[in-house]
Amino acid sequence: MGLRGLKDKVVVITGAGQGIGRAYAHRFAEEGCAVVIAERAVERGRAVEDELRKVGARAEFVETDVAQAESCRRMVEQVEARFGRLDVLVNNAAIFSTITMKPFWEISEEEWDAITAVNLKGVWLASRAVFPVMQRQRHGAIINIASAVVFMGRPYYLHYVASKGAVVAMTRAMAREVGPYGIRVNAVTPGATYTEVPRATVTEEQKQAMIAQQCIARPEVPDDLVGVVAFLASEDSAFITGQTINVDGGLIMH
């Protein structure tokens, strides 16, 4: 038996055009879900839609900018028109791999605003857009992707760390507000995870130093995260809400 109550669910994954979000999309497709790739980058979003359809999955790319309320509203409208329901939202989209590290006193206001608009406000806007559908269904699961940097106090991208800390806080308050409607909200905090996408947020020395401190001393990969996200979307986690699950090979223990 697989995870309970996941097959045939309609799952929206924001930012699923590459990296870890793309891995979530593949896993939900394997579980027999209909997968919506709510991504800002059109070519990459379409490419993931193609990949999933080629393996026989129901997949739909919907061009979405989570930082825009109207874009989130239209995305939900399209999902409802196509699938008639919406069961799971994975708030994965973020400005992450394009960040350059710098001390907080060198971050410009423009950069601060751009990052918090996607990583923080975008989580609220996407959740707000799916809420009426989940409320009507009296059923839904929202999974917010935060980051283990919240607990590490990792320096040199304060806007990113602050946005992810807010996502953890928001998860808790949101879970209380939507619990009465049968909707659960949880967060996952990945450690440094190595995908097909290069980024400047970790040097080779920092990578090795972090791995050395993990209980399981190997690099984290997207496959390490897909199971917990699928579990939180399934009925096997029906009594878990407002929680933050850390997945980092035991680097930090909070």
Ligand X SMILES: NC(=O)c1ccc[n+]([C@@H]2O[C@H](COP(=O)([O-])OP(=O)(O)OC[C@H]3O[C@@H](n4cnc5c(N)ncnc54)[C@H](O)[C@@H]3O)[C@@H](O)[C@H]2O)c1
Footprint on this chain of ligand X (rule: CB under 6 A): 14-15, 17-21, 39-41, 44, 64-67, 92-97, 118, 122, 145, 147, 190, 192-193, 195, 197
Provide Rg for the chain, Cα atoms: 17
* Least distance from ligand X to the Cβ atom of residue 182, Å: 26
Distance between CA atoms of residues 1 and 69, nearest Å: 39
CA proximity to 36, closest of 7, 79, 77, 71? 79
Q: Which two tokens stand for residue 61?
A: 């790319």
Residues 6+ apart with CB under 8 A from 113: none
Contact 121, 91 (CB under 8 A): no
**DSSP H or E run through 161:** helix 158-178
User: Measured at the alpha carbon of residue 47, what is the angle toward residues 43 and 52, in degrees to the nearest 5?
Assistant: 150
Q: By CB neighbour count within 10 A (0-12 exposed, 13-18 middle, 19+ buried), where does 43 fall? A: exposed
Q: Out of 156, 157, 160, 181, pick the active-site residue.
A: 160
Q: Which two tokens stand for residue 44?
A: 């990459």
Give 10 or 150: the residue with its C-beta nearer to ligand X.
150
Of 97 and 100, the one with the shorter C-beta distance to ligand X is 97
Question: Does residue 140 contact residue 235 with C-beta atoms inside 8 Å?
Answer: no
CB of 25 to ligand X, least distance (A): 11
Considering beta carbons, is residue 139 or 145 the nearer one to ligand X? 145
Instruction: Mark whether 24 is an active-site residue.
Output: no
User: Residue 95 Cβ, how far from ligand X at the closest point, in Å?
Assistant: 6
For ligand X, which is the closer residue by CB, 6 or 126? 126
3-state secondary structure of 229: helix
In the complex, what is the shortest distance from the CB of residue 60 to ligand X, in angstroms, rounded to a whole number? 15
The CA distance from 64 to 210, in Å, is 34
> CB-wise, 139 or 245, nearer to ligand X?
245
- Nearest-approach distance from CB 17 to ligand X, in angstroms: 4
Which of the residues are catalytic?
Answer: 160
